[in-house]
């Protein structure tokens, strides 16, 4: 067996140019494929993180009928009991209770339906990333009377600027029509332009002054120490109070969760296509090598080298090519993915288009170690399969005819 391995290794380098082309092709295929998958994962993870940090969070609690029509009277059942439980639960990192009103925002330049969210400004500052996304003005720190923080998209639609007044019209919990003016203190810009156009933030106490029920809570949002514990907390909260509806971020935005779960299949299919294309090149090169060495193979068969050893020799030649290309391709991919995972890839040239999909312009590549293990086995499998045809062709050679060939 040792002799067969030595012969196979030397055969690779008998035609250095041809072998080098195959090896370089495999390296480039692995490098480009893994980096493309890492970039796709980075885009999806960034989109998920942005959505969770801004508006989804890990778990949300509502009245079952609230999310369908944003009924102002559909408040959470026994919110104080839930707050006490969240305060004690070790899974919970932080939480926020909010008052939400479906309203019509209007200025001298137009009107637009929005979701008016009353928050504890000090608590929310460390809860969501809205305070970090302020692009103009301040976050509830300067204006004392009825300040409001609005999205950049909404500000552009209604031609609003700092210290300008915007009116909000809505039906309160007593059935009366209310029209209240707030003064713009800050303008934020998140990764989702649709969210920016329809969501505004005011202080909870300002909104409570208008409502009849002073203890109204329409939403409790929760952030956990570990996002993987979302389902566990959901089950706990449902047992605590089954009258409320508890949803994880995957329940609230199933498309984000499904894309994340489909990334493994995307990786396998995408890399299989690349490796399948490379396998044709490997099979073609090895077949050329077999046909060029017909006389040599015929002589080896004539002196007693059996078909099994001929088959193994061709197989080892193909495997050695993979053993050279695979670690180099993976190493280059790992270095490049790690590099751009830290500094990021700036896609600000297409930032407007990314905003509509809820993505930021800076993308950080990401690829778990399990993907490198999968690509190793996938590459070796495809390489072995591609070696079968040239090996089978070598076994069909007639020693007597092969020796006479030029």
237 and 60 Cβ atoms separated by less than 8 Å: no
Give the pLDDT score at 22: 86
User: What mean pLDDT is reported for the chain?
Assistant: 87
129 and 81 Cβ atoms separated by less than 8 Å: no
Rounded Cα distance, 28 and 339, in Å: 18
Rounded Cα distance, 52 and 54, in Å: 6
**Among 35-49, 190-204, 291-305, which is the least confidently predicted range?**
291-305
Give tens-digit pLDDT for 315-360: 888 888 888 999 999 999 999 999 999 998 887 776 666 666 656 7
Give the pLDDT score at 8: 76
359 and 43 Cβ atoms separated by less than 8 Å: yes
Decide: helix, strand or coil at residue 114. Answer: strand
Determine what percent of the chain is predicted with pLDDT higher than 90: 49
Rounded Cα distance, 39 and 31, in Å: 12
Give tens-digit pLDDT for 64-87: 999 778 899 999 999 999 999 999
Give the pLDDT score at 157: 94
**Inter-residue long-range contacts of 88-92, CB under 8 Å, 24+ positions, other chains counted:** 89/233, 89/236, 90/225, 91/224, 91/225, 91/226, 91/229, 91/232, 91/233, 92/222, 92/223, 92/224, 92/225, 92/233
pLDDT at 197 over 90: yes
Structure tokens at 79: 């919110």
Give tens-digit pLDDT for 106-121: 999 999 999 999 999 9
CA neighbor of 383 nearest in space, from 278, 234, 230, 287: 278
How, if at all, do strands 147-151 and 199-203 pair?
Answer: antiparallel
pLDDT at 151 over 90: yes
Residue burial 227-262, b: 16+ Cβ < 10 Å; e: rest? bebbeebbebbeebbeebbbbbbbbbbeebeebeee
Average pLDDT rounded to a whole number, residues 163-173: 94
CB neighbours (10 Å) of residue 280?
11
pLDDT at 139 over 90: yes
CA neighbor of 201 nearest in space, from 145, 121, 123, 137: 121
Separation of CA 291 from chain center: 48
338 and 372 Cβ atoms separated by less than 8 Å: no
Higher pLDDT, 184 or 401: 184
Average pLDDT rounded to a whole number, residues 161-175: 94
Every domain of the chain and the residues it spans: 2-52+256-404, 64-243
Which parts of 47-153 are beta strand (E)? 59-62, 92-107, 110-119, 134-137, 147-151
Give the pLDDT score at 49: 84
Give the pLDDT score at 354: 64
| Distance separating the N- and C-terminal Cα atoms of the chain | 29
Give the pLDDT score at 348: 73
Give 142-205 as a DSSP string. S--SSEEEEEHHHHHHTT--TT-EEEEEEE-TTS-EEEEEEEEEEEE--S-HHHHHHEEEEEHH
Angle between helices 369-395 and 254-292 (to 10 degrees): 30
Structure tokens at 174: 């007593």
CB neighbours (10 Å) of residue 388?
15
Helical (H) or strand (E) element with 330: helix 307-343
Give the pLDDT score at 116: 95
Q: What are phi and psi of 372, to 5 degrees?
A: -65, -35
Give the pLDDT score at 359: 66
């Amino acid at each position: 067996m040792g002799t067969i391995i030595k012969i196979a290794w030397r055969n690779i380098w008998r035609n250095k140019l041809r072998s080098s082309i195959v090896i370089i092709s495999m390296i480039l295929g692995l490098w480009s494929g893994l980096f493309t998958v890492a970039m796709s994962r980075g885009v999806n993870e960034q989109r998920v993180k942005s959505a969770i940090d801004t508006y989804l969070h890990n778990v949300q609690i509502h009245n079952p009928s609230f999310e369908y029509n944003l009924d102002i009277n559909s408040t959470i059942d026994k919110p104080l009991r839930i707050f006490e439980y969240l305060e004690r639960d070790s899974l919970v990192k932080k939480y926020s209770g909010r008052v939400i009103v479906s309203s019509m925002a209007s200025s001298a330049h137009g009107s637009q339906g929005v979701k008016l969210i009353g928050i504890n400004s000090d608590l929310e500052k460390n809860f969501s990333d809205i305070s970090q996304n302020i692009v103009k003005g301040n976050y509830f720190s300067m204006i004392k009377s009825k300040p409001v923080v609005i999205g950049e998209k909404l500000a552009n639609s209604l031609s609003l600027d700092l210290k300008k007044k915007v009116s909000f019209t809505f039906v309160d919990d007593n059935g009366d029509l209310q029209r209240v003016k707030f003064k713009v203190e800050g303008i934020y810009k998140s990764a989702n332009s649709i969210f920016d156009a329809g969501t505004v933030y005011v202080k909870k106490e300002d909104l409570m002054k208008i409502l009849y029920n002073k203890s109204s809570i329409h939403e409790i949002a929760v952030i956990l120490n570990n996002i993987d514990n979302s389902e566990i907390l959901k089950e706990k909260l449902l047992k605590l109070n089954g009258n409320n509806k508890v949803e994880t971020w995957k329940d609230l935005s199933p498309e984000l969760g499904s894309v994340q779960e489909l990334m493994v299949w995307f990786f396998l299919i995408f890399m299989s296509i690349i490796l399948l294309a490379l396998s044709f090149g490997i099979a073609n090169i090895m077949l050329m090598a077999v046909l060029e060495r017909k006389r040599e193979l015929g002589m080896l068969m004539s002196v007693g080298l059996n078909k099994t050893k001929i088959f193994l020799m061709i197989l080892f030649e193909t495997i050695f090519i993979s053993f050279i290309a695979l670690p180099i391709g993976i190493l280059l991919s790992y270095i490049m993915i790690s590099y751009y995972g830290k500094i990021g890839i700036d896609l600000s040239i297409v930032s407007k288009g990314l905003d509509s999909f809820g993505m930021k312009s800076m993308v950080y590549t990401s690829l778990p170690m399990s993907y490198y293990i999968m690509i190793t086995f996938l590459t070796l499998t495809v390489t072995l399969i591609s070696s079968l045809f040239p090996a089978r062709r070598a076994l069909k050679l007639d020693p007597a005819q092969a020796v006479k060939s030029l």
